[in-house]
Structure 1
Amino acid sequence: MSNIPSKEQILQWITDNPGKRSKRDIAKAFGIKGAARIDLKRILRELQEEGHLEKVGRTYRDPDKLPPVTILSVQAPDDNGDLFARPLEWHGEGVEPRVLYTPRTADPAVGQGDRILAKLFAVEGSDAEDHQYTAKLIRKIGTNPRKILGIFRKGAEGGVITPISKGSDKEWQVRAGDTHGAKDGELVEGELAGPKARMGAPRARITTRVGDPGAARAVSLIAIHEHGIPDSFPNKVVAEADAAKPAGLTGREDLRDLPLITIDPADARDHDDACYAHADEDPGNKGGHVIWVAIADVAHYVTPDSALDREARKRGNSTYFPDRVVPMLPDRLSGDLCSLHEGVPRAVIAVRMVIDARGEKIGHTFHRGLMTSVASLSYEEAQAAQEGTLSERTAPLIEGSIRPLFAAYDALKIARAKRQPLELDLPERRIELDDAGNVTSVAFKDRLDAHRLIEEFMVLANVAAAETLIAKRTPLLFRVHEEPSPEKLEALREVAASAGLTLAKGQVLQTRHLNALLKAAGEDTSELISISTLRSMQQAYYNPENFGHFGLALKSYAHFTSPIRRYADLIVHRALIAAHGWGPDAKIDGLSPDEIERLEDTAKLISGTERRSMVAERDTSDRYLAAYLSDRVGAEFGGRISGIARFGVFVKLDETGADGLLPMRALGQEYFHFDAEAQTLMGADTGTMISIGDRVLVKLAEAVPVTGGLILELLEHDGKAPSRGSGRGARKGGGRGRGKPPARRKVSASKARKTKLRKKQDRSRP
């Protein structure tokens, strides 16, 4: 009996761990095995008989308290208009508690007879005489139906919803009373309205009128459906998330005294990483630093082969649009239990890393713990504080948190300069929307040191995760980025040569060689070299085998820092749990044998979902930009050529970063020879050379929000109007000619790159 806990200890543990209340959980928590389980069973039975515990199924709970998340039945409003609700289950000996429902502005309408899943908050003081709990809506029961997006076509008795997806001919019938006032031709969102009839199309009811299919609010919805991105969670998945309870301290290190802070975009809804740094007190590491990076412990809540896990694996990652996020996990997890909100205890997996004065990592350890963020800062707040502009929020943090973080970052910059990852500094645009979903501005994001600080910390943590799992011989998914293929590398050499630059042959390519090339490019050719270097890169992917990360110049790299939004990171978290044998649940939420067996399949799946999201996000940005520019048709814009194809030239506009197409017919009335390897066009009559990176002045001829297409007309190329040429082969061929192209005249070139490239033209026919 010496290792059997007291009744008081059992009751306290059940109170601290509301999500783990079975006899098996209790036995694991206190290390009770074998015959001692009989004594535990006896004590639990005594607690039950004494009224301290109630057994529901295989779990135990205090019968005189409502669980923190429960199902309620909404009652009629009282004389004051307040809505009260009663729990569907009450097993206590006292009077059933009264629950006041307190709706938020964005909550859907709730009325008498509705059943809701709600989060409860105990009421104390004098208010408890009127009601003992307040309730916040999580979800109306039965309101997680399959969504439908399509164009509404009005009929005599209602109408039909026709799909927007290409190749689909399915329609949904809408009764007259279920149209929600939709007009003919509107883009609408709906839900299935009952079982399919034996004959005819299935029925649906319209729930939201999105409006004009070409309007700004519609574009992300169209991309979601076009690319097959799941945007609603099955009821079972939502129920699992709703049933989750905050993790306690059992089996975890107490990290709540560490002044960890989160630094994110100002509009971030979730915070999945926190950091803290301080000078290393070890006299043997003078000038060194200790860096802590703590990541939300998603694996605690999303266990292998659960409904949540299967859905997360299917999605692979979250998808981000200017007006919405399609999350990998339900909001109960991504925005609450797995978000490191300020002042709230949260379960994490943390890594403590020690770096020397030159930023080299000399040691690290992983920890499964419980932390509390002391502050949630934006990048701008952290940057301003470091530069001396303190606010009421940042003043108390400057010495203990912010300055030590930047001091550690200064050391990491030295190591980065030595390692020389690829330094492609291409601007990232940000699309700003108003409440109606219309684009108000398109600006290029600022790159602050605060951004770079977090990036370097995350890279270091990801390296530590990969190295630990390799050392412990634990299977994992690596983030792989292979070096450019010989063909793409040769094309880059040709482009460099055309600009009078050299990328040497006969050596193993390293990122420092590409950085030297990027640095050598002058103002006129920097964008040409940057775009061409980016085009030469392979796409990163996930793989259970380690092939290194070329772009970051790292031998081993694994995604560890964002398990809320990337399934690969969740796999790495589970691998760390299994490798360390953390806590009583290591076999439950660690990497399972089944997962190890299918790691290759998982890697292919989530590499595909990542590409799917990238394309959907790009398509959505294109549509928003086309909508934004649609009222500026006829306006003139400066830009640079960003791509060349047989059918025309792509131009990236300076003002917005939008990509438009110059069709061949817009380039002038002469025949153009296309060189696919060098990505150039050369005029047959004038010798005009068109290359990536060239400056152009264009006029916007057409903007189509539904497709995201921008059609341009060429006004000037490198400061000159397009040549009229002889007109041979241009009028009927759209710039490509018909039949045999005309003979080429010898033309003197003013630039070395024109001479070099002209010798290649016989290899390519348009």
Structure 2
Amino acid sequence: MAQRPHGLPSRQQILDFIASSATPAGKREIARAFGLHGQEKITLKALLKDMADEGLIDSAPGRAFHKMGGIPKVTVLRVVEIEGATVIAVPESWHGDAAPPKLRVIDRGRRGTAFGIGDRMLARTEEAGNGWVAHPMKRLARGEELVLGVLRLEGDRLWLKPVEKNERRELLVSDAGDAGPGDLVMAEKTGRPPRITARVTEKLGKPFEAKSFSLIAIHKHNIPDRFPEEVIAEAERMAKEPLGEGREDLRHLPIVAIDPVDARDHDDAVWAAADEDPGNAGGFKAIVAIADVAYYVRPDSALDKQARKRGNSVYFPDRVVPMLPETLSADICSLKESKDRAALACHLTIAKNGALKAWKFTRAVIRVAANIAYEDAQALVDGERVSTSLDTNGGESRSSRAKSRDVAPDLLETALKPLWACWAVLAKARAAREPLDLDLPERRVVLDEKGRILSVAPRERLDSMRLIEDYMIAANVAAAKALEAKKAQVMYRVHEPPSREKLVALKEYLATFDIAFALGQVVKPATFNRILAKLDDHDSRPQIMEQVLRTQTQAYYAPANHGHFGLSLGSYAHFTSPIRRYSDLLVHRALVGAYDLAPAVQQTRLAPADAADLSMVGELISAAERRAMAAERETIDRYVAAFLSEKVGEVLETRITGVRAFGFFATVEGLGGDGLVPASTLGDEYFRYDEASQSLIGEQSGERFFPGQRLPLRLVEADPIGGALRFALPDGAERAPMRPSRGGPRKDRRPTGRRGRPANIRHR
């Protein structure tokens, strides 16, 4: 009997289920055993097809086979090295005594350069005169051969406990190298099912040391975190470049940079003033000045290749893994107070209704009047006294109660009040187009100087944050339209409307709350806003908001424009963050070339190779963005679990975030983290799973557990390494986790139904 995981099962879990099933197991039986529904079934179908391509299962599920011996003519490879245009891969499954052979990937369709370290492919192989080569046939989902985990000693044997919360099975360590119990390690799976073992390939340190939680994410997701020496040397050399002739001088304007209190870099600054043109009465002039990264990072340079490889900066509570070396990202390209900086300036003419009447782009030199934290800017506008202090991390922070030097008082009149006045008309345009309004809280982890957790709490949402967002959106729209006017290449930020399948699922979900949702209508962001507006302070509002978010498609980068559904915009490009996003750097280069912006036009415009293959670049940076988002989210979960580890045994206020047949998930109110309450701990009565309402219902008592429900739960377990939590009802006895046995009576377990479903769960 298979243990059902939360979400899609792994390849190994599918193989284990097929091997232990008494009858032939097809897609339907696998889906039923693992409690999969809707979109999960579609994803399962694709996974099973990949497994067949990989040679793990054949077309008649029930028999599993694995290729052995030398390199098969068609096999699965994993990319291990990339040097320029050369991609090197090794067989994913290798059982020889020697090291696995390296194959040079030859992709005449030019898709080879789109592969990254750790990517997998189904490939045709052949032996050439100087070694083996591979011809890609199909890109596959990332494999699970490498395992990140912590070593545990049991008796005289070492076991590897994976950090992945969905990977429950520990592996016997066949070779630990110089690692010992308690070490965080990277290991590779060896052997064949059912005798899979782990061989340690790299010791990473102690898992509970400062900065280890982000280190786990960096290694798990193969995020490049060290710059080659040639890249650092080039960054230092380019940082000494003069600003260049021909720049517009904007140093006389009180331009300010308004950022988070814990910002690591400052790549945007803003200025606004009432438009004196009688033809634009009630309108404004505004400038969004962005660090001129394209001037320092030239196409096809070592810096450029490294930035493209990274795709974006990755932000963790304890560190940032920057896209560019700190010489540029934290210094010469960062718009710092009272420093002359190269900028690409977006000049905007804004009508009194918030519409963009005109725009112009120039290369400029600016001198930021002040770096102001969101909290300080808000406090100044609200009439409070604000000053600068040192935060608990030892860096510069802002506090309206501090006693250090004051922010210049004249900035309120010369900079902030005009910015707020202009924002008032920009807000009119935003209200008119009705973008998707999902106010989901962002968690902020505050650490002390030693990396210890001081607090975890939602980040306060201020008007100053919305103000900066609207200026950035206006500049991004202007950049896209300016390039379209020149018929130039644009790297669009695309967000397509939800698919019909997701809308059908949302309709069924909303029906359980007696909320009507017509599928025949033209769905716009305002459609979802109206639904949320009706809920007001309803207990289920946060959960319904999250369900609406899950209904949306994932945004991506591409040269083909399909609009931005969430922002309700027809043309949208990312222009405002070239320090941390490669997409924005490409947009800057395109603008420089399209409008012949001096200085150094030829050296800083969009490279012909990029312009010719912008789709491939879009795929690369979109994948890097998804990788960064996953790493950041998982790291926050680990910090939350570590913060809560001292509260194990306590009863906490929680909210149910999801219900499945095997139990429900809950999050701690005001803190976050996601923990399971297994159905086996809910009591002795039968609970049936109502799929339409996503609820568990007691057949005798009628007690219901449903998404959005608030209830106190006892914290039973907090695993900082996996970022996982486990809860139980406060007055219930915690049952031991149920494990399948290999025969004989299971007196300590509850009776089970077919396909491993606990008997206290029945589907309607």
For 1:454, what is the secondary structure of its paired residue? helix
Segments of structure 2 that go 5 or more residues without pairing to the other structure are: 1-147, 154-159, 187-198, 387-405, 736-745
Which digits, 9 at most, give the CA deviation of each residue in 1:391-411, with x for residues without a partner? 532412111111000001111
Range with bigger deviation, 521-530 or 397-406 = 521-530
CA shift, 1:517, in A, is: 0.4
CA shift, 1:507, in A, is: 1.3
Q: What is the CA–CA distance in structure 2 between the aligned matches of 1:501 and 1:486, rounded to whole Å?
A: 18
Dislocated runs of 4+, deviation >6 Å: 149-154, 161-174, 201-204, 730-736, 740-744
1:294 — aligned with what? 289
**What pairs up with 1:7-26 in 2 under 5 angstroms?**
none
Q: What is the CA–CA distance in structure 2 between the aligned matches of 1:664 and 1:611, rounded to whole Å?
A: 32
2:516 — aligned with what? 502
Alignment pair present for 1:664 and 2:679: yes
CA shift, 1:680, in A, is: 3.3
CA shift, 1:616, in A, is: 0.9
Q: What is the CA–CA distance in structure 2 between the aligned matches of 1:353 and 1:600, rounded to whole Å?
A: 29
1:8 — aligned with what? none
1:438 — aligned with what? 452
1:28 — aligned with what? none
2:472 — aligned with what? 458
CA shift, 1:413, in A, is: 1.4
2:504·2:519 contact (CA, 8 Å) conserved in 1? no
2:530 — aligned with what? 516
CA shift, 1:533, in A, is: 0.9
2:662 — aligned with what? 647
Amino acid in structure 2 at the alignment position of 1:277: A
Amino acid in structure 2 at the alignment position of 1:345: D
2:247·2:599 contact (CA, 8 Å) conserved in 1? no
2:261 — aligned with what? 266
1:367 — aligned with what? 362
Which digits, 9 at most, give the CA deviation of each residue in 1:607-632, with x for residues without a partner? 11111111111111111111111111
1:650·1:661 contact (CA, 8 Å) conserved in 2? yes
Q: Given the superposition, is the C-alpha separation of residues 416 and 249 from structure 1 closer, same or farther in structure 2, using an over 3 Å criterion?
A: same
Q: Please point out which of 617, 622, 626 is paired with 2:637.
A: 622
CA shift, 1:171, in A, is: 7.9
Range with bigger deviation, 390-399 or 433-442 = 390-399
Q: What is the CA–CA distance in structure 2 between the aligned matches of 1:734 and 1:332, rounded to whole Å?
A: 62
2:328·2:334 contact (CA, 8 Å) conserved in 1? yes
1:106 — aligned with what? none
Amino acid in structure 2 at the alignment position of 1:568: S
Q: What is the CA–CA distance in structure 2 between the aligned matches of 1:397 and 1:586, rounded to whole Å?
A: 35
CA shift, 1:329, in A, is: 0.4
Q: What is the CA–CA distance in structure 1 between the aligned matches of 2:756 and 2:578, rounded to whole Å?
A: 57
Range with bigger deviation, 585-594 or 687-696 = 687-696
Q: What is the CA–CA distance in structure 2 between the aligned matches of 1:407 and 1:598, rounded to whole Å?
A: 42
CA shift, 1:445, in A, is: 1.0
2:489·2:559 contact (CA, 8 Å) conserved in 1? yes
Provide TM-score, normalisation by structure 2.
Answer: 0.68
Alignment pair present for 1:578 and 2:573: no
Range with bigger deviation, 491-500 or 585-594 = 491-500
Amino acid in structure 2 at the alignment position of 1:477: M
Alignment pair present for 1:329 and 2:324: yes
Amino acid in structure 2 at the alignment position of 1:413: A
1:413 — aligned with what? 427
Q: Please point out which of 460, 463, 487 is paired with 1:473.
A: 487
CA shift, 1:185, in A, is: 3.8
For 1:640, what is the secondary structure of its paired residue? strand
For 2:729, what is the secondary structure of its paired residue? strand
Q: Given the superposition, is the C-alpha separation of residues 604 and 675 from structure 1 closer, same or farther in structure 2, using an over 3 Å criterion?
A: farther
**Equivalent residue pairs, number:** 564
**What pairs up with 1:676-755 in 2 under 5 angstroms?**
678-715=693-730, 737-738=753-754
Which digits, 9 at most, give the CA deviation of each residue in 1:568-592, with x for residues without a partner? 1111111111111122522221111
Q: What is the CA–CA distance in structure 2 between the aligned matches of 1:655 and 1:735, rounded to whole Å?
A: 38
Amino acid in structure 2 at the alignment position of 1:278: A
1:448 — aligned with what? 462
1:382·1:402 contact (CA, 8 Å) conserved in 2? yes
**What pairs up with 1:92-111 in 2 under 5 angstroms?**
none
1:429·1:656 contact (CA, 8 Å) conserved in 2? yes
Q: Given the superposition, is the C-alpha separation of residues 735 and 264 from structure 1 closer, same or farther in structure 2, using an over 3 Å criterion?
A: farther
Q: What is the CA–CA distance in structure 1 between the aligned matches of 2:230 and 2:162, rounded to whole Å?
A: 27
2:753·2:759 contact (CA, 8 Å) conserved in 1? no
Alignment pair present for 1:385 and 2:399: no
CA shift, 1:274, in A, is: 0.5
1:220 — aligned with what? 214
For 2:592, what is the secondary structure of its paired residue? helix
Provide TM-score, normalisation by structure 1.
Answer: 0.68
Q: Please point out which of 350, 356, 363 is paired with 1:355.
A: 350
Amino acid in structure 2 at the alignment position of 1:448: L
1:636·1:700 contact (CA, 8 Å) conserved in 2? yes
CA shift, 1:170, in A, is: 11
Amino acid in structure 1 at the alignment position of 2:228: P
Q: Which has the larger radius of gyration?
A: 1
Q: Given the superposition, is the C-alpha separation of residues 691 and 579 from structure 1 closer, same or farther in structure 2, using an over 3 Å criterion?
A: same
Amino acid in structure 2 at the alignment position of 1:537: Q
Amino acid in structure 1 at the alignment position of 2:225: D
Q: What is the CA–CA distance in structure 1 between the aligned matches of 2:295 and 2:488, rounded to whole Å?
A: 19
1:671·1:736 contact (CA, 8 Å) conserved in 2? no
Alignment pair present for 1:282 and 2:277: yes
Q: Given the superposition, is the C-alpha separation of residues 203 and 458 from structure 1 closer, same or farther in structure 2, using an over 3 Å criterion?
A: closer
Alignment pair present for 1:566 and 2:581: yes
Q: Given the superposition, is the C-alpha separation of residues 297 and 542 from structure 1 closer, same or farther in structure 2, using an over 3 Å criterion?
A: same
1:672·1:735 contact (CA, 8 Å) conserved in 2? no
Report the identity percentage. Answer: 48
1:196 — aligned with what? none
CA shift, 1:186, in A, is: 4.5
Q: What is the CA–CA distance in structure 2 between the aligned matches of 1:483 and 1:412, rounded to whole Å?
A: 24
Q: What is the CA–CA distance in structure 1 between the aligned matches of 2:425 and 2:472, rounded to whole Å?
A: 15
For 1:470, what is the secondary structure of its paired residue? helix
Q: Given the superposition, is the C-alpha separation of residues 357 and 183 from structure 1 closer, same or farther in structure 2, using an over 3 Å criterion?
A: same
1:217·1:436 contact (CA, 8 Å) conserved in 2? no
1:309 — aligned with what? 304
Q: Please point out which of 210, 217, 230 is paired with 1:236.
A: 230
CA shift, 1:343, in A, is: 1.0
Q: Please point out which of 515, 519, 536 is paired with 2:551.
A: 536
1:346 — aligned with what? 341
Which digits, 9 at most, give the CA deviation of each residue in 1:413-450, with x for residues without a partner? 11111111111111111111112222111121111111
1:261·1:274 contact (CA, 8 Å) conserved in 2? yes
Alignment pair present for 1:634 and 2:628: no
Amino acid in structure 1 at the alignment position of 2:346: V
For 1:658, what is the secondary structure of its paired residue? strand
Range with bigger deviation, 667-676 or 298-307 = 667-676
